[in-house]
Chain A
Amino acid sequence: MKFKPLIYLSLFPLLTSCSSGVIFEDKAFAFDTMIDMKLYEGESSSLKEIKNLANTYSKLTDNYLTSDVNNVYTINNTNEDVSVDSNLYKLLKLSYELKGKGLTYFNPLCGSLAKKWKEALDKKEVLSSGIIEEELAKINSSSLTFKDNNIVQRVGDAEIDLGAIAKGYYLDSVKEYFVSKNYTKYLINAGTSSILLGSKNTDDGLFNIGLSYVKNGYLKLKNCFVSTSSNKSQGVMIDGKIYSHIVNPINGSALNENDVAIVVSNNGAYGDAISTTLTMCNIEEVKEIESLFEVKAIIIKGSDIIYKNQELEVYYH
């Protein structure tokens, strides 16, 4: 009897080291990355559903490979009308319209420029100014026409690349699915650049989101999308400068103003497109976009946070 408290207390450390309570976990390979899915409630069949969604959107937005359905690759290889899936139609339209809504550095028609930069950087070379001029001319003289019955026509030679928005758009549809199922506890990590957070299976429901480039730094978040664009993971160092896979559709450069842009938002597609844009913005432009789209951003240069929305708190381990 005397030692009863001792027994209870000795159990305490054991209880604190219990796992995070993930019920269902799965991986999908889509969008050229791995999608890590964690569900803290519901049924395992739900993961199958969102896995299928990933494969569908990945096929539709692929600009490198042909598919059993008309996709971005199909549109990029013709100037004829192309009948596409309604989801791809909506995504293309949204992407095309975002530029006019204030995202100056976001342009889905910079696919060919991005490919040329990738080919050059793979050989550790900088793209020549001549090729950049050619590609910019293509972008500026090309357009997309949206017709009835989900028909899209590409006019001109610029190619579509939805890499900066597709995963976010997919996560929007995952969220829609979770809402329809009344699920609130989940974490869907689409290759770290696009993350959908519900709440965690803990009292406060908050997830710890580690900031790789800020020593021991992390955010505590739930019920939001976290979009990250960075030149650090795929950047190539040439003559002391980091050239990125994120290209500027205005001047054709692959040198970014910022190293990392993190956007916390309520919409995956917008969050992804905005984070891409913010890598090319100065701080005043970052603030303007934040207020225009009601998102919260963190901007990192090197390992320093040079801008942080005041509503976001960075914690340290």
Chain B
Amino acid sequence: MDKKKLRNDLILIISLFLVMAVTLTITLSFKVRTNLVARIFYENNIVETIDLSKNEDKDYFVDGKHGKLHIHTHEGAIAVLESNCPHQDCVHMGYVSESGKPIICAYNAVSIVIDGNNINDVEI
């Protein structure tokens, strides 16, 4: 009777660990492969949220501090096509599809942050 109980307990414990392992694997792979979402901020406020996984070819026009920014999505990536900022650093970044590489137009206080596959606290 005791042996049977012990065997059942062991089966239960092993099953639980298996369930946990599967759950963790699914959770982690979901974190890594989750859909990319681009959030466009004006200062500290989100003005647009875009699901990049839809692979849409679409234009967005966002009001910045000194003018409008022309933003475009293409094949799961996002870019600033036009801005009136003096340095044009945001335009020069081109299409971005990775998290950890925000597109920043400091002159217009607009930033585009991509979320979804960021497994690090910060990218350098």
Contact = CB atoms under 8 A, between A and B. Distances in A.
Contacts of B19: 9-10
Contacts of A233: 93
> By CB atoms of chain B within 10 A, which of A29, A31, A209 has the most?
A29
A45 interface: no
Contacts of A191: 104
Contact of B41 (A9, A27, A207): A27
A17 interface: yes
A20 B43 contact: no
Given A16-B27, A33-B104, A234 B92 contact: yes
Contacts, number: 87
A13 B89 CA distance: 42
Interface size class of B (residues with CB under 8 A): 20 to 34
Nearest to A20: B121
A122 to B, nearest CB: 7
Interface in A218-250: 218, 226, 228, 233-234
Interface of B: 12, 16, 19-20, 23-24, 27, 31, 41, 43-44, 86-89, 92-93, 98, 100-102, 104, 106-107, 109, 111, 119-124
A6 B17 CA distance: 10
B123 A9 contact: no
Nearest to A38: B121
Contact of A209 (B12, B93, B120): B120
> By CB atoms of chain A within 10 A, which of B12, B27, B106, B107 has the most?
B106
Given A6-B16, A12-B20, A13-B23, A192 B122 contact: yes
